Amino acid sequence: MADGGTVPDVVDPRIGDRGTTYKVAGGPGPAGGSMPAPVPAPAPAKRPALPAPCVPESLENNDAVKRDAGQILQASDSMNALYEEVRTRVKILRGELAGGEPGELGKTGRLADQPDKRDLVVISLAWSKIATRFRLASVLSHEYRHAKQALDRGCVAPEAAPFLKNAGQYLVLRWWSEFDAFDFQQRVLAEIARNKPEYQPCVAAILADDQRLSLLAKGATTEAMATIAADYPAAALSAQYLGYRGISKKEIEALADVSVRVEAMLKSPLWAAQQERWAAFARKEP
């Protein structure tokens, strides 16, 4: 769905099929009377013009586009706080996102030439699919939250996978991460709408286009979890998990520090709570 889409032409309801006629004032009417002139239909209310950042365009990765997205995000206190915490450890890549999941607009990961640099997370974006600068801001809030997750955990999901005990744990990790990122994203959007009312139509369009965000905005947590689990199917994530586990001994050794971090995560009360929370959605694995 494109933000600020075109408004369809309005058809005057008084105009019937070809051949239909209307009686006018003074003309013959029932019982020899006259018919009143038709009352003009009220003019349709005009949709207010959307702010420029919410109008679809062909986005390019340049400083002006990113600056506009950053200015939008400054209206969110939550985003400002997160950005200040991670800004020196997150980098946005210039190229188009390649090899992402269907419908994916952004992805976090490592630099190809610095895969072991755990204090740096990169964000790849599907620039050709994002369409508006406001939507770019929205996507960035989601991806920056993923970046913070990786920095706090000390690893991205593919690095953690070899040290998880089964695919079920990988499902919990992925679903939990997505839920947290979507929840943060809708919070940022709510703060922008509150602090910059001119962007309320833009926020409404994004919520209408993404059921996960709209459910979280309504406080429908269980429904949002179910939608996330359906959008990231267990079968696909299980296959992904098996692929990440099939790495060489040398690669395993290079992830020794990640092994320690994952072990600590699995022993934490927070992980136990998340496993219980997602139990109804996770497929039982051997």
Name the pTM for this structure. 0.81
Residue 228, classified by CB atoms within 10 Å of its CB into exposed (0-12), middle (13-18) or buried (19+), is buried
Could you give the count of Cα atoms lying within 13 Å of 242 in the half-sphere of its Cβ? 6
Q: How many residues are present in the chain?
A: 286
- Residues of the chain by 3-state class (helix, strand, coil), percent to 5: 55, 5, 35
* Distance of alpha carbon 201 from alpha carbon 51, whole angstroms: 9
How large is the angle between the packed helices 63-73 and 77-86, nearest 10 degrees?
A: 120
- Does an H or E element contain 106, and which? strand 106-109
pLDDT tens series, the chain, 286 aa: 333 332 232 322 222 333 323 233 344 444 455 555 566 666 565 566 788 999 999 988 888 999 999 999 999 999 999 999 999 999 999 889 887 777 789 999 999 999 999 999 999 999 999 999 999 999 999 999 999 999 999 999 999 999 999 999 999 999 999 999 999 999 999 999 999 999 999 999 999 999 999 999 999 999 999 999 999 999 999 999 999 999 999 999 999 999 999 999 999 999 999 999 999 998 544 3
List the beta bridge partners of residue 171.
Answer: none
Sheet holding 121-125: strands in order across?
Answer: 90-96, 121-125, 106-109
Tokens of 220: 């429908």
Q: Which residue has 């050794």 as its token pair?
A: 253
